[in-house]
Chains A and B, each alone.
Chain A
């Protein structure tokens, strides 16, 4: 099977610079075009295990990243992305090119894939059961997610929970985990041999780096998972580790608030979410110590039916 690694750097750059690189991430194929060296470099590093589609096929998203033209090409250079020539956002500093690609791909999925109920959450799985970790920015969800997927949990996604209404299963996307500021160092220490992009320091969110998804998670990108737990994480320095159950109806409303497209799906969204909430045990989770946090997750029990 053709992957980014087996393609070789020269061919990778040719495709990126020309017809586009058709990258498969779970249910989606993204055609990426960019001549910016940082983009090729990071795709090569972080998407090494991802399968590629041959040229001339069907892609779901068509993303192009290029340096801004005109004056900004030379003075404080910028990068912009377009999705099939539509430019949804303002340009960013050129150094932000790879983070911008990740944001662009998240944007594409979350604004278009309305066959799924899409929640802003991390999703991880172990022994056939998945945990959904919805969280507003700053909750430490990504750090926790990064740690768990290097201690026996499979990564489905660090940003997008895709719940399929027909069968209530969660679909993997298995893309790099985005880390910010302190959590970059925390993860570097916690995961020996972690494959991380070079941190980019001048983003709107501070310093940003991306962690490669474990090969085992990428290999299982077509394997959906049944949700069993909804855990709202909150990191607080020196906080004791606590897991508090949440009443289901409240959990429902809180998850809906964290969804991208709950109201777009109408009754189908309501049914999908109520099915998931009925099936899952929901908790508020506070932590400061990663090892303790992992122990709590490992001890989670399958909810009674």
Chain B
């Protein structure tokens, strides 16, 4: 996975979700599953909902939003994107 790589929301996901106290449940329009997600994951999804973004940009967003240091933000972003991709929520534009 490279930093410049672009990620986007999988076409067809409308991001129906509800949140309480920084925990969220989200309905997956494609698989029909429902996921329990944390606030970082939701922020990534909401950012991608506005348009595709690079991994770098997403890491920068998390760094700011959650006051992480750059290394943490990088690792967190990579892990999140992999997780969300496995759930069919996001895909990299390289696919």
Q: Which residues of A contact B (CB under 8 A)?
A: 247-250, 252-253, 256, 262-263, 266-267, 270-271, 274, 277-278
Interface majority SS (helix, strand, loop, mixed), chain B? strand
Contact of A249 with B32 in the complex, beta carbons under 8 Å: no
Contact status A249-B24, CB under 8 Å: yes
Q: How far is the CB of B36 from chain A (nearest CB, A)?
A: 5
Residues of chain A lying within 8 A (CB to CB) of residue B24: 249
Q: Are B34 and A270 touching (Cβ within 8 A)? A: yes
Min CB distance, A274 to chain B, in Å? 4
- Given A247-B20, A247-B21, A248-B21, answer yes or no on A253-B36 (Cβ-Cβ < 8 Å): yes
CB within 8 Å for A267 and B27 given contacts A249-B36, A253-B36, A256-B34: yes
Using CB atoms, name the residue of chain B closest to A268: B27
- In the bound complex, how far is the Cα of B84 from the Cα of A285, in angstroms? 34
User: Could you tell me if B23 and A247 are in contact, using CB atoms closer than 8 angstroms?
Assistant: yes
CA distance A277 to B25 in the complex (A): 11
Question: B49 to chain A: closest CB distance in Å?
Answer: 17
Q: Contact between A263 and B32 (Cβ–Cβ < 8 Å)?
A: yes
Q: Would you call A270 and B21 a contact (CB within 8 A)?
A: no
- Inter-subunit contact B20/A248 (CB<8 Å): yes
Do A267 and B23 touch (CB < 8 A)? Answer: no
Residues from chain B with a CB closer than 8 A to the CB of A263 are 32-33
Check if A249 sits within 8 Å of B27, measured CB to CB.
no
- 27 pairs, CB–CB < 8 Å, chain A vs chain B: A247-B21, A247-B23, A248-B20, A248-B21, A249-B18, A249-B19, A249-B20, A250-B23, A250-B36, A252-B36, A253-B25, A253-B34, A256-B34, A262-B34, A263-B32, A266-B32, A267-B16, A270-B16, A270-B25, A270-B27, A270-B34, A271-B16, A274-B18, A277-B18, A277-B20, A278-B18, A278-B20
CB distance from A84 to the nearest CB of B (A): 29
Q: Once bound together, how far apart are the Cα atoms of A253 and B36, in whole Å?
A: 7
Given contacts A249-B36, A253-B36, 13 further A-B contacts (CB under 8 A): A247-B20, A248-B21, A249-B19, A252-B25, A252-B36, A253-B25, A262-B34, A263-B32, A263-B33, A270-B27, A270-B34, A271-B16, A278-B20
Main secondary structure of the interface of A (DSSP, over half): helix
**B29 & A267 in contact (Cβ 8 Å cutoff):** yes
CA–CA, A71 to B20, complex, Å?
60
A262 neighbours in B (Cβ, 8 Å): 34
Output the least CB separation between A5 and chain B (Å).
45
A48 CB to nearest chain B CB (Å): 42
Cα distance, A79 to B67, chains bound together (Å): 66
Contacts A263-B32, A266-B32, A270-B34 known; A249 to B16 CB distance under 8 Å? no
Of all A-B residue pairs in the complex, the 9 with the closest CB atoms, nearest first, are: A249-B23, A248-B20, A270-B27, A274-B18, A252-B25, A253-B36, A249-B25, A249-B20, A266-B32
- Residues on B with C-beta less than 8 A from A274 are 18, 25
Most A CB atoms within 10 A — which of B27, B29, B33, B36?
A: B27
A247 to B29, CA, bound (A): 24
